[in-house]
Chain A
């Protein structure tokens, strides 16, 4: 393999790899092109002119789709999931560097949360909240708490059940990333800081945090994008107010204009933007960390 002449398998696998990349990106690029379809154009080629007609319809919300409320919901939920995933994964990853009771159980639960089928998790959360609702209503009636029995409908919602559902999906990824980070983490820096008299908090704040900061950007990226695109786990556990992907799933069977391609392109655009920002963030954080360590 060190010879300069490439073997036949290189060319065959290389060709396969190239085809796979086309397979991977081709469809997305197709709807990107078709989203600029002229006003008279249909769902497929040929392009009848080039326009931003469908984006304008989407922007004004005057077409078939009014997605801005679910767009905002998804954005907020994604940001909250992002912050919580980053903080909780960092803390847990840090905890796993030492021994504590229940360590093995917690690790297995986290992996299980990743592997158990999403529909089962989603259904479970829906049932849990239903039981909770029934419990609250029964309690309110029994004890005659008027404001509760009249005003209460359900505890299910975007920032309760749906948030929890998303976290069961993002936290395993966050923890696994933190494991990978701390496995390669130089222990001696911490020891040196301790020997110099730093408190545990100072060690964490001035040694550990700056060093893992670039990886935290990665965790945040996973937290946001996985939540932004999540369907299966939220599907049963969200109540009335849909997130954007759920809304989109419903639209696949009803919308028959290129507007859906415009919407799809916008949603993918948000993901690409976030990925780009993350890369930028990582390179900045790495540069700052290098400066700090090397002085």
Chain B
């Protein structure tokens, strides 16, 4: 041990860490790497009603973008689906970021006792460990035609008749997403905020900065890593979603995830695989752009 390097990491037999990491590597290889490779390969295969035909064809990609070059007849189905998904993404991102930031700010800078802060933080994050579907179902008695919100609106005379747009609509989908995913922003943003040296805020104040100026020029730049990580989570979760959009949209709203799911149920595996490859490409692009803004590994 006399040759220990200055970083004090213990040096043992080099085999031990390899063996310890092996189970994780094996699981990821079997259930993550191989599946992605299988998807890439099958997306190039042909298929009939009954079976997969190993082949190299562009059919699935060509069919996916059929009619997309001709913009005069309106957008093709694929582009419309992507646009509709991206529009949902943008709305959900805006609300979750705003809410997550406000909540983290309150917890990090306004709550004074550490115990209280941890307790309130747990209150905000505990629902993550309960079922998403049930949290969606929970909105049904509130938003339905006879639901609590409509009873209230009609009862107080704010509207003449029950409103239909509350449930199985873009509104209910966005509402459920915000309900489910705000914590994916809250946790990393809170983490970033807790690392901010409080003396910086005092310094800004002493130098004559207003509250808004401190927020804009000190807090937000220092919170950027948390905001980026949270945004990646929310954007990726919404882009690949089919459960929330399905349940809260009454199976009426199009999304990329839904298209993949439907194609799977018709056993059109290569077509679904091609969709998945394109979705994955888009997601990776978003992540690549966003991680340019920060160094993720330093945040852990």
Contact = CB atoms under 8 A, between A and B. Distances in A.
A106 B23 CA distance: 11
A275 interface: yes
A120 B279 contact: yes
Contacts of A88: 23-24, 27
A16 interface: yes
Interface string A1-33: 100001101100110110011011111101100
B180 to A, nearest CB: 10
Nearest to A191: B10
A37 to B, nearest CB: 10
A110 B28 contact: yes
Interface in A87-142: 87-89, 91-92, 94-103, 106-107, 109-113, 115-121, 123-128, 130-131, 134
Q: Say whether chain A's binding surface is mostly helix, strand, loop, or mixed.
A: helix
A179 to B, nearest CB: 6
A101 B136 CA distance: 44
A249 B243 contact: yes
A109 B109 contact: no
Nearest to A255: B137
Interface string B72-110: 000000000000000000000000000100110111011
Interface stretch (B12-20, B56-64, B220-228): B12-20
Given A31-B138, A267-B131, A17 B24 contact: no
A110 B129 CA distance: 21
Nearest to A225: B129
A103 B17 CA distance: 10
Place the interface of chain A in its size category. 35 or more
Given A109-B33, A249-B247, A127 B296 contact: no
Interface in A158-204: 164-165, 167-168, 171, 175-176, 179-180, 183, 187, 190-191, 194, 200
Contacts of B136: 252
A19 to B, nearest CB: 10
A14 B146 CA distance: 32
For chain B, the bracket of interface size reads 35 or more
A110 B297 CA distance: 12
Q: Tell me if B's interface is mostly helix, strand, loop or mixed.
A: helix
A44 B147 CA distance: 6
Given A44-B141, A45-B151, A249-B243, A130 B251 contact: no
A236 interface: yes
A271 interface: yes
Contacts of B148: 30, 44-45
B163 interface: no
Given A16-B102, A260-B137, A168 B10 contact: no
A125 B137 CA distance: 28
A89 B146 CA distance: 48
A13 B105 contact: yes
A216 B1 CA distance: 30
Contact of B39 (A118, A127, A271, A274): A127
Contacts of B185: none
B137 A106 contact: no
Given A134-B52, A245-B133, A27 B142 contact: yes
Interface string A241-268: 0000100110011000000110010011
- Across the A-B interface, the 3 shortest Cβ-Cβ residue pairs: A117-B240, A124-B35, A27-B138
Given A13-B102, A120-B39, A245-B131, 11 more contacts: A88-B23, A88-B27, A94-B17, A103-B21, A111-B296, A115-B287, A123-B260, A125-B31, A128-B34, A232-B243, A264-B137
14 contacts: A6-B110, A9-B110, A10-B106, A10-B110, A88-B23, A96-B17, A98-B9, A110-B24, A116-B32, A117-B279, A119-B240, A120-B280, A124-B35, A245-B132
